[in-house]
Amino acid sequence: MWTVMQTKSDAEPWWFLEGWEEDVIEQWTFSEKETAFAKYVNKIQELSVKYPKNRIKKGTQIAFWNEDEILFCESCDDDLQIYHGLLIMYNNSPYAIENKSNEDQLIRQAFINEKV
């Protein structure tokens, strides 16, 4: 089962810190990989319009942000950047393209590099 998740947090989506599930603001579940990646690409396009900065890890974990969107952390007495994350899970585990098949590498080139 494939899941596309959108998060909003002061941590990029690849950190998976304790309680990270509470940062999920939307998620979509799919039975087919191609459908999941189509949704992922659609969300990349949507978020890249709203948030000009981005960084990708493992080919499927991406953080978007706008430098003006910050949150003051009282306990650390500092401003923290807010990140809008997007990631793909396969069978409840983060899916990484980097170490996968040639097909995945083509997906990365066609869907991710071209869109961000």
10 or 115, which is more confident: 10
What is the largest distance, in Å, between two alpha-carbon atoms of the chain? 47
38 or 100, which is more confident: 38
How does residue 83 score in pLDDT terms, banded at 50, 70 and 90?
A: very high
Give the model confidence (pLDDT) of 12-47 as tens digits.
Answer: 999 988 888 999 999 999 999 989 989 998 999 899
Domain boundaries, the chain: 2-113
pLDDT at position 4 is: 97
Share of the chain above pLDDT 90, in %: 56
14 or 97, which is more confident: 14
Does residue 101 have a pLDDT over 80?
Answer: no
Given a contact cutoff of 8 angstroms between Cβ atoms, the answer to whether 29 and 1 are in contact is yes
Q: Please tell me the pTM assigned to this model.
A: 0.81
